[in-house]
Amino acid sequence: MQRPRFEAYSAFNLIAVALILIAATSTAIPFAAPAGAAAKGKLVLAWHAGFASRWLDPQEHDGTATPDNFFTAIHDALIKNQGTELYDHPALAEHFSVAPDAKSATFTLRRGTRFHNGDPVTPQDVKFSYENYRGAKADVFKKKTERVDIVDDRTIRFVFKEPFLDFAILFGTANVAGPAWVVPEKYYKQVGPDAFKQKPIGAGPYKLVRHEPGVRVELEAFDGYYRPVNAKQLVMIAVPEAATRVAMLERGEADIVYNVPGELITKVGKLPGVTLAPVLSGSFFIEFAGFQDPKNPFHDKRVREAVSLAVDRRAMNQAETAGMGKPTGNWINNDVQYAIEWPEFPRNVDRAKQLLREAGYPNGFDVDWVTPLPTFYSRGERLIAQLREVGIRGRLQTMERGIYFQRLQAGLKEFPGTQIILHGVRIAGSWSFWYEGHFKCGGFNSRDRICVKDLDGKFDQYERSTNPAERKKLAEEIQRGILENYYLVPVFRHAFVNAIGPRVVLQKWQDVFPTITTGYAYPWEDIKVKDQ
């Protein structure tokens, strides 16, 4: 018996509709499906140092950029720095707001976010992570926070004792502090801080598969992440020797290598399919320790200016980073809040000599020591050679890195006489962190080596102010004051040169190193590798 015609027709229509629906759904799946499901390929990163286990636990963030490599893979924060967003990229928080009086900040959690063990990310986890945080700047948060309120199952509010204008920037800049990074309270308490560092569980795009302390970390794309994760496996290997890292890249054993030193940059740049990623990093600048003493030659502004005129910034950049750094006019990186742009200082040896004559040093003078940031000793040697051209004669003082910071923090007594320090610093977030650390009288690194009372007075005013416009004005005034008086002499921005192998999909190196406040390659979930 023949089927009624309309039925066959309807069946055909139904199948057609079903096929269209399937096709439509399948195109939508990559956006709607769990993030790790579509991930493919393996990304291998060769590191320039051994791994410290504390870098796997945001609760003990040491305030440097290095741990971000692990945090951004395994963990996630409410807000964070990402791409060109300095601190306010919404991550686990769908959105947030700071009260107009800056006395509270409210975050709403993204729906459906989970930790790698399947537990949901809750406001209680956020509260625990904040209250239990004991890393860099922990005391600042503790001192200023009155309480943390869980408003509902997605909303959490931080209430402050006084206006806390820098809260969001401190909270969200990963390489400054870590209380925004959320750890699972239950698991953290269950295993304890030390075991957590060996087997961390987070809410980030990658879950830990294997951890050989100090040697290797193997990660796998997390299916439950709220953003697409491109590479299925992420392997980080510590390879301290630069030549070995380059050999790994050349042989295809690594896809990204960090820190290609100056002598290998040209070679690596010529490797087929390899892309150099010269990320602008820390700022190098000159400090005149104890210049406020009238007996110190650098007390005279003309002498400080002469030093600036003697420095050949372009030659330094060319020799030290194959020209991949950038001679700069401001000692504060331009990727932080309220940093001002300033033209590059000129080089003029004749003018420098003239200024020294005017200042009473026709035959120049001797500097007891020129101390560069370890291990950039060759930069100190170049500076000495350039200063000698105008008659300033210095000797190089090299120190082990730990000793250097220890002596900085001990203050002027560790730098007696006439001294020049060639610093290299990178601090994300706000210009004020730079000032507070490296210029303010009594600051944690400047101590008593620099004391300019009028600028410190303005800085105190800046700290007290709750008016953003006034703060910006003061920030700019202070920075101009430093530069116009040559209290610090900017030299150049260092290039942290990395290399990317041919398996990584990219149009330009910034596709792999997009986050401007860091020299590293995150966000990891965005990096794609070709089929292997």
Partner 1 sequence: MSQFIIRRVLYSVVTLLILSATIFLIVRLTGDPVALMAEASARPEDLERIRHQWGLDRSWPVQYVTFMQNAFTGELGKSFNYRLPVSELYFQRLPNSLTLGLAATLISLLIGIPAGIISAVKVNSGWDTVAKGVALLGLSIPGFWLGLVLILVFSVWLRWLPTSGSGDWRHVVMPALALGWYFAASMLRLTRSSMLEVLGSEYIKLARLKGLPDFVVIAMHAFKNALIPVFTLAGVNMVVMVNAAVIIEVIFAWPGIGRLLYEGIFQRDFPLVQGVVVMAGFMIVVINLLVDILYAIIDPRIRLTR
Residues engaged in binding partner 1 (CB under 8 A): 50, 52-54, 62-64, 134, 136-139, 193-194, 197-198, 212-216, 237-241, 243-244, 247-248, 250-251, 253, 400-403, 405-406, 409, 425, 427, 433, 437-438, 444-445
Cβ 115 to partner 1 shortest distance, Å: 21
CA dist 494 and 415 (Å) reads: 25
Residue 294's identity, in one-letter code, is P
CA distances from 421 to 346, 410, 415, 418, 492 (A): 20, 14, 9, 10, 14
Beta strands 233-238 and 216-221, pairing class: antiparallel
By C-beta, is 136 or 265 nearer to partner 1? 136
Task: Phi first, then psi: give them for residue 10, nearest 5 degrees.
Answer: -65, -40
Return the closest-CA partner of residue 371 out of 284, 481, 433, 269. Answer: 284
> 3-state DSSP call for residue 210?
strand
C-beta closer to partner 1: residue 213 or 481: 213
Rounded to the nearest whole angstrom, what is the least distance from the CB of residue 411 to partner 1 in the complex?
11
Among the listed residues 321, 338, 304, the one whose alpha carbon sits nearest the alpha carbon of residue 480: 338
173 phi, psi to nearest 5 deg = -90, 110
Supply 154's token pair. Answer: 């997605």
From the CB of 253, what's the least distance to partner 1, in Å? 6
Closer residue to partner 1, CB minimum distance, 55 or 361 = 55
Cα–Cα distance for residue pair 311/385, rounded to 1 Å? 9
Instruction: Tell me the closest approach of the beta carbon of residue 139 to partner 1, in angstroms.
Output: 5
Nearer to partner 1, 352 or 373 (CB): 373
Kindly list the distances between the CA atom of residue 86 and the CA atoms of 158, 265, 279, 466, 504, in Å, as whole numbers in the listed order.
Answer: 21, 29, 16, 20, 25
**Comparison of 234 and 367: residue with beta carbon closer to partner 1:** 234
> Rounded to the nearest whole angstrom, what is the least distance from the CB of residue 238 to partner 1 in the complex?
7
**What tokens were used for 66?**
């290095």
Cα 193 from chain centroid (whole Å): 24
Closer Cβ to partner 1, 81 or 122, answer by number: 81
Q: Decide: residue 218, CB within 10 A, 0-12 exposed, 13-18 middle, 19+ buried.
A: middle
| Pairwise CA distance, residues 374 & 218, whole Å | 31
53 or 106: CB nearest partner 1: 53
Minimum CB separation of residue 213 from partner 1 in Å reads 5
Compare residues 199 and 508 and give the one whose CB is closer to partner 1.
199
The residue (of 194 and 366) whose beta carbon lies closer to partner 1 is 194
Question: In whole angstroms, what is the distance from residue 174 CA to residue 135 CA?
Answer: 12
Shortest distance (Å) from residue 480 CB to partner 1: 23
What are the backbone angles phi and psi of residue 43, rounded to the nearest 5°? -115, 125
Three-class SS of residue 489?
strand
Shortest Å, Cβ 333 to partner 1: 14
Q: Which is nearer to partner 1, 24 or 243 (CB)?
A: 243
Half-sphere exposure of 89 (CA within 13 A, CB side): 18
Cβ proximity to partner 1: between 222 and 404 the closer is 404
User: Nearest distance from residue 239's CB to partner 1, in Å?
Assistant: 4
Q: Minimum distance from CB of 16 to partner 1 (Å)?
A: 54
Amino acid at 476: E
Residue 176 beta carbon to partner 1: minimum distance, rounded to whole angstroms: 9
Residue 230 φ/ψ, nearest 5 degrees: -85, -50
Taking the C-alpha atoms of residue 145 and residue 464, their distance in angstroms, rounded to an integer, is: 17
Triad 220, 226, 232: Cα angle to 5°: 20
